[in-house]
Chain A
Amino acid sequence: MSGVIHVTRKYRFSASHRLHAPQLGDAENRALYGKCNNPFGHGHNYEIAVTVGGPLEPRSGRVVDLDLLDGLVRRQVLEPFEHRNLNEEVEAFRAAVPTSENLGREVVRRLKRNWRTVFPAEGPRLERVAVAETSRNAFEVAAHEIE
């Protein structure tokens, strides 16, 4: 009886970062990233929106058990990122600049890698993650874009 249903849940964490590409010179980095290149770093109140799709589970009338989703996001994203310096304290950002684009990809990667520990194969699917560094911009990464 039901077609496509998507459930989106928003989460927040605060973290610092610095945008600096080691392959580029200091002047190029300053020109490219502007204030975000400040060597001392700076921070944001991040908001991430996690979208899950799937059929209605008949027993509950829901697509996803939100307690399970909240727990997965808390363990894989919020706890490791909350009040951290992303460049210094999150392994993925030693090799990749912690832009919102790369942050969105890392969130998808972490959720996909651990999805099956929480949800069965016939259960809900991760559809996409949107990262908002501030309320003025948003970056969406579809789950299928990440291996």
Chain B
Amino acid sequence: MLITRKVEFSASHVCRNPLLSDAENGALFGAAANPHGHGHNYVLEVTVEGSPDPVTGMVLDLKALKETLNREVVEIYDHRFLNREVAPFANVIPTPENIAIDIWNRLQPHLNGPRARLHGVRVYETPDLYVEYFGEAQ
């Protein structure tokens, strides 16, 4: 059974590769390469896989999941300039692909119990663009 919880955060970022010239970055990332940064209202959907506990009828405590998402992601990402304030984006370009991988890495240690484990994360950068990450290939 899959359970998905949604949270939102707003943050700014710059997409540029420091090894490339301004012209190359402009060609690669377009407006997202603006060195002053720009922002998005991100929507994060976290999907957990498991089977319901026979006594409680629940796969996991949704309150605990909410607290985990707030503590491990929202408090770290919300209203931040990702390149400057959120590791690992000092050295990793904060594309939605890399944001999805980083969020997976932050959540996975907390969502790997015997009954419920992290299945996937979906990061919407805009309503028309999202990235899904399901961890290392099995």
Contacts and interface: CB of A to CB of B under 8 A. Distances in A.
Interface in A5-35: 5-11
Interface residues of A, number: 20
Contacts of A78: none
A5 B100 contact: yes
Contacts of A67: 30
A67 B98 CA distance: 19
Nearest to A4: B134
A117 interface: no
Contact of A62 (B95, B127, B128, B135): B95
B129 A59 contact: no
A9 B129 contact: yes
A135 interface: no
A2 interface: yes
B55 interface: no
A120 interface: no
A12 to B, nearest CB: 9
A53 to B, nearest CB: 9
Contact of A7 (B15, B94, B97, B135): B97
A63 interface: yes
B133 A5 contact: yes
Interface of A: 1-11, 56, 59-63, 65-67
Given A6-B132, A7-B97, A63-B97, 10 more contacts: A4-B137, A5-B132, A8-B131, A9-B128, A59-B17, A60-B15, A60-B29, A61-B17, A61-B95, A61-B98
Interface of B: 15, 17, 20, 28-30, 92-98, 100-101, 127-137
